Structure 1
Amino acid sequence: MPATTENNHNQGSFLGRISIRRNQVMSMSMDGIHNTECEEMELFQRHVAERFAELLSCTDEPEAFMSIGWLRKLLDEFLCCEAEFKAVILMGRDPFQIAKPPLDKLLPELLDRIIKSLDVCNAVSLGIDSLRNIQRLAEIVLSALDQTLIGDGQVRRAKKALSTLLSAMLHEDKDGGITKGTERNRSFGRRGNKDKDRSAAAPFRSLSWTMPKNWSAAKQIHAMSSNLAAPRGNESSGLALPVFIMNTVLVFILWTLVAALPCQERSGLGTHFQMPRNLSWAQPITALQERISEEWKKKEKKGTVGLLEEMQKMEKIAQWLLDFADSFQFPAEADKLEEVKAQVEELADICRKMEEGLEPLQLQIREVFHRVVRTRTEFLHVLDQAAKLNIPTS
């Protein structure tokens, strides 16, 4: 994606500036150090605001918002925010600064959210597997109806696939959006050619498991957001602020993925996450959250595989084609066949986007999984260092 190169450039520039400033710390007065840290945190806030403002601008393009491409850009932005956050908190900093109040309380909360986020990553990945199965059903419809002359046999075949496809899409999410017509696969794996898929899935086995039946994506998001409180007083201008920002961004990213993609048990998801409204860096995130919540409430009543743009289009096309199949009589009228041809072409375009985009999206979710695990390990190492340095010598 073009955004990835640009984000990596911006990320590298930011990390470079942090590194230069931290190398100058030893020659600074305490006031100078404080001013530098304030500049770093202001820059971090501005970057967060800019990144999500750019994502918000895509909401004016109906075909882009909540699409596979938009979600990939969302994850790009998260990974950049996460790298900048670690630069602000960890780079060149004394472990004692990390271990003292208020971070001694806030960081363990962040590390706990990271643990919870891993289950969400796995559940969302299972949802992508279910989308692949839906894509295969759509491809059966394409092979049946993408014909110069459509007969009863082709229509019966398409109707069977369409019925199964719509049943899967309108399921109530009790089993991750997957019904009898679509197989439940493991995370980061695919069915098909066994030798090819075994090789392709090999790097992802550490993230391959099914979710417990009583696990709920909505409850997990609620648990992650329930004690998310903005720092107050002097803490609002210190290191507590970037920790709060990172907590907020992490929860928002996962909440959005759960809303967009099939995920196990999402009842009430729209009411489980409230964004801070009075902070400048959070305004574009709040606007995105409100927009997504509105769309979610419309869809939640009937059950759906999520708000993914490609799925919304596929649902409409599949319903139109099923109505056509129900009323089909051979030979079909020329005007009706032209309409079928247009719908089939649009469905083929959706399948192409899914074929090109779902695997890279799943790889990005894998990267998020491993990145936050690595971040948690780095923070635990620093906290452990601080604890050892604080042990009195005999």
Structure 2
Amino acid sequence: MAAAEPSPPTGMGFLGLLSFRRSATAVASFDPAQDDELLVLDALQAHVAERLAALASSAVAQAPLLSLAFLSKLLDVVVSSDAAFRDVLEIGPVAAALSRPSADRLSGDLIDRAVKTLDVLNAVSLTLASLRGSYRAALTAASCLLTLPLHRAHFSRARRAISRLFPDSAKLAAPSPSYRTPRALSFSVSRNWSAGRHVHAMTAHLAPPPQSPSAASPGAGCGLGLALYTMSSVLVFSMWALVAAVPCQDRASAATNPPVAPPKQVQWAAPMSALQERIAEEWRKREKKGSSSGSAATSGLLAEMQAVERAVRELSSLLEEVAEEEQDEELALGMNEERAQDVVERAEALAAACQALEEGLGPLERQVRAVFHRVVASRGEVLHIMEHSTRSGSASAAAASGSSAPPHHHSF
């Protein structure tokens, strides 16, 4: 007589109940192989939940959310989640189900999102490279105002540099013509390319898998199907956050609403939802502020970049005041010591903001490139497994055409 299935705990949601029954079935059947499959599949969910929770807890409510440190940790989540997902792909029966209905549709969606992820990473890499050049020039502009006594030539040079590099907040990402065009990761971004449209396309058909696995679709339930949905969600969320932080081309067309709506029962739903809400709120505030000032706020939400923008505006405003006061006098003689000290302090603030951004952008650029190559490799592995599984399935079907033995299905 088969062992009776234990009673599930009370108060358990549908996804939890289904996971409990799957685990209970595996234990009752004394099938170590199937138990290992369940452990690896559940480990992916626990890993993503743990990393996102750590990311959410590291973002202090009062501090700006999208900073260089945050983006670095976010990209670490992408890499580590991909590693956990590859552990899932190393399980033979699980990998074989990638090409079966309806897991094949979820696999195809993940492959398509990986391609769009590469496009976004390519655009982000180009933007970061151009920002480094622009802010290095801003640092040069500030440096000519750091030493007393100040002369009219110093002020004129600084004002020309600021007006050329930062005409308004909507054009902060425009590369200076005096700097070399940065090399793209895979291709140059065309004028018609849109980061907003790409992110929107990544959200298409992003929905949890059906939670009623059957013999007809063993890989589409809360195991493999949820693993594919999890990786797609991580890619969509991370690229949306990058576009929010970095002023990519046509960033403003991206929706400010959270792009991922996971069911509450999923382990990583709460931290991802919390992060999305905070980023969306900052984005909406930034867009509203840009609209009220008469220009689109497309300069991005990166905290260090906004610090430079504030410092530029404050210094530029002060230089305009000085220019109006000292139109007919030599600055070295006509400007009082207190006024000169104000200029130096504003220039020091701009120099410090530029240096902080300069120091952080280099490592972030390298990390973006590393994630780009990681996604390329992961996408290739999924494609290889699906092609191999399809060929093996066709060969097995032909060999077993005369056999009446029923196929073995895995309940994941």
Q: TM-score, normalised by structure 2?
A: 0.77
Q: Give the C-alpha shift of residue 276 in structure 1.
A: 2.3
Tell me which residue corresponds to 2:181: 185
Q: Distance in 1 between matches of 2:379 and 2:137?
A: 40
Q: Distance in 2 between matches of 1:209 and 1:186?
A: 11
Between the aligned residues of both structures, percent identity stands at 37
Q: Give the C-alpha shift of residue 181 in structure 1.
A: 5.9
CA, structure 1 residues 94+45, in 2 after alignment: closer, same or farther (shift >3 Å)? closer
2:268 is aligned with what amino acid?
W
Deviation digits for residues 158-179 of structure 1 (CA, Å, limit 9, x no counterpart): 11112223226422x9xxx316
Tell me which residue corresponds to 1:317: 311
User: Which structure has the bigger radius of gyration?
Assistant: 2
Tell me which residue corresponds to 2:51: 51
Q: Is the 8 A contact 1:167 1:179 kept in 2?
A: no
Aligned counterpart for 1:230 among listed residues 208, 217, 225: 208
Q: Distance in 1 between matches of 2:364 and 2:115?
A: 21
User: How many residues get paired?
Assistant: 346
Tell me which residue corresponds to 1:73: 73
Q: Give the C-alpha shift of residue 157 in structure 1.
A: 0.9
Q: Give the C-alpha shift of residue 132 in structure 1.
A: 1.2
Q: Give the C-alpha shift of residue 333 in structure 1.
A: 3.2
Tell me which residue corresponds to 1:299: 286
| Structural mapping, 1:93-172, within 5 Å | 93=93, 95-167=95-167, 169-171=169-171
Partner SS, residue 188 of structure 2: coil
CA, structure 1 residues 336+42, in 2 after alignment: closer, same or farther (shift >3 Å)? farther
Deviation digits for residues 215-234 of structure 1 (CA, Å, limit 9, x no counterpart): 11000011011110012323
Is residue 368 of structure 1 aligned with residue 371 of structure 2? yes
Partner SS, residue 209 of structure 1: coil
Q: Give the C-alpha shift of residue 361 in structure 1.
A: 0.9
Partner SS, residue 394 of structure 2: coil
Q: Give the C-alpha shift of residue 364 in structure 1.
A: 1.0
Tell me which residue corresponds to 1:308: 302
CA, structure 1 residues 250+157, in 2 after alignment: closer, same or farther (shift >3 Å)? same
Q: Note the residue ranges of structure 1 that are not aligned, 5 or more in a row.
A: 1-27, 189-206
Tell me which residue corresponds to 2:7: none
Aligned counterpart for 2:259 among listed residues 273, 280, 301: 273
Q: Distance in 2 between matches of 1:90 and 1:386?
A: 13
Q: Give the C-alpha shift of residue 352 in structure 1.
A: 2.1
Tell me which residue corresponds to 1:341: 344
Tell me which residue corresponds to 1:383: 386
CA, structure 1 residues 343+42, in 2 after alignment: closer, same or farther (shift >3 Å)? farther
Q: Distance in 2 between matches of 1:274 and 1:383?
A: 26
Q: Distance in 1 between matches of 2:258 and 2:250?
A: 13
Q: Distance in 2 between matches of 1:55 and 1:33?
A: 33
Q: Is the 8 A contact 1:277 1:283 kept in 2?
A: no
Q: CA RMSD in A?
A: 2.6
Tell me which residue corresponds to 2:198: 220
CA, structure 1 residues 282+272, in 2 after alignment: closer, same or farther (shift >3 Å)? closer
Deviation digits for residues 318-374 of structure 1 (CA, Å, limit 9, x no counterpart): 111011111113243333333333333332222222232212211111111111111
Deviation digits for residues 274-318 of structure 1 (CA, Å, limit 9, x no counterpart): 432523312111111111111112223332320111111111111
Q: Distance in 2 between matches of 1:30 and 1:212?
A: 57
Partner SS, residue 319 of structure 2: helix
Tell me which residue corresponds to 2:404: none
Between Structure 1 and Structure 2, which shows a larger proportion of helix residues? 1
Q: Distance in 1 between matches of 2:336 and 2:158?
A: 18
Greater CA drift, 84-93 or 307-316: 84-93
Q: Distance in 2 between matches of 1:277 and 1:325?
A: 53
Q: Give the C-alpha shift of residue 89 in structure 1.
A: 2.9
Partner SS, residue 269 of structure 2: helix
